[in-house]
Amino acid sequence: MRILQAKDYKEMSEMAADIIGAQVLLKPDAVLGLATGSTPIGTYEELVKRYEAGRLDFSKIKTVNLDEYRGLTKDNAQSYYYFMHSHLFDNINIDKTNTNVPDGMEPDALKAGEDYENIINKFGGIDLQLLGLGNNGHIGFNEPCDEFIDKTHVVDLTQSTIEANKRFFESIDDVPKQAYTMGIGSIMRAKRVLMLVSGKGKAQIVKDAFFGSVTPKVPASVLQLHNDFILIGDAEALSCL
């Protein structure tokens, strides 16, 4: 595990864009695993800037997103599909047929999971997986539980995640109660994992996840076992270490 400290959110976003940008330069047809949430927004803005400046070419890049709310259509402004298009895909020269987000409208959970794993396998696996960190230690939507779940699956969101994510919805009742998420194995099989953490609110969970025991009760703790895991945090998020 490598921990890189940034002084603030802006510097964290630039450092993340440096690492993702290097991946795109070194392997123009790389498979990027992408994340949503507020933390990576600055990174996507940086990548768009670098594309606009002619420094990055995404035309051969392929992407797989971590997760999607179950039951939200693609045109729902709170869907992760919508998020990815508005923050990144619509603003760079990526071939949209090479971008993937789990299908939140697939009613058959088993099929949704299998289809998504097939896409990852067809791409030959993920070169670089970007992650945020949930307040309760979740990655993607792998919530604290009794075991690590390997592959893409449906999850019941915990009350704390529903609370944390209600800020994006009109009311808490509008927050979906379930989601599809890549599994812990899908994430761990990525060649490199890059996690971003920002703000005081993440400081304690960063300490628990990366300096405590490896346990499915804190899903992100499994990343201690990844052999190319990079954590970039701003000073506040790393303040308990």
User: Shortest Cβ distance from residue 39 to ligand GLP (Å)?
Assistant: 3
Q: Smallest gap, in angstroms, from Cβ of residue 123 to ligand GLP? A: 20
Q: Which helix (H) or strand (E) holds 230?
A: strand 229-234
Candidates 46, 65, 67, 100; catalytic one: 67
How far apart CA 229 and CA 193 sit, in angstroms, is: 5
**Catalytic option among 46, 100, 127, 136:** 136
Task: Tally DSSP H helices, then E strands, for the chain.
Answer: 7, 10
Nearest distance, CB of residue 214 and ligand GLP, angstroms: 19
Q: Active site includes 136? A: yes
- Rounded Cα distance between 134 and 151, Å, is 19
Residue 18 known to be catalytic: no
Nearer to ligand GLP, 50 or 176 (CB): 176
Do 33 and 64 form a contact (C-beta atoms < 8 A)?
yes
In the complex, residue closest to ligand GLP by CB: 132
Q: Rank residues 63 and 165 by Cβ distance to ligand GLP and give the closer one.
A: 165
User: Please, which residue, 62 or 138, has the CB nearer to ligand GLP?
Assistant: 138
For ligand GLP, give the closer residue by CB, 127 or 132: 132
Q: Measured in whole angstroms, how far is the alpha carbon of residue 97 from the centre of its chain?
A: 20
Degrees (nearest 5) of the Cα angle 19, 25, 26?
Answer: 90
b/e per residue, 155-174, with b = 16+ CB within 10 A?
bebbeebbebbeeeeeeeee
CB of 209 to ligand GLP, least distance (A): 12
Residue number, 57 or 235, with CB nearest to ligand GLP: 235
Contact footprint for ligand GLP (CB under 6 A) = 35-39, 66-67, 132-134, 140-141, 161, 165
Instruction: Kindly state the helix (H) or strand (E) to which residue 178 belongs, with its residue range.
Output: strand 178-181
> Is 153 among the catalytic positions?
no
Active-site hit among 87, 138, 153, 226: 138
Q: CA angle at residue 172 from 158 to 9, to 5 degrees? A: 75
Which of 143, 153, 165, 234 is catalytic? The answer is: 143
Active site residue 226: no
Question: Which positions are annotated as active-site residues?
Answer: 67, 136, 138, 143
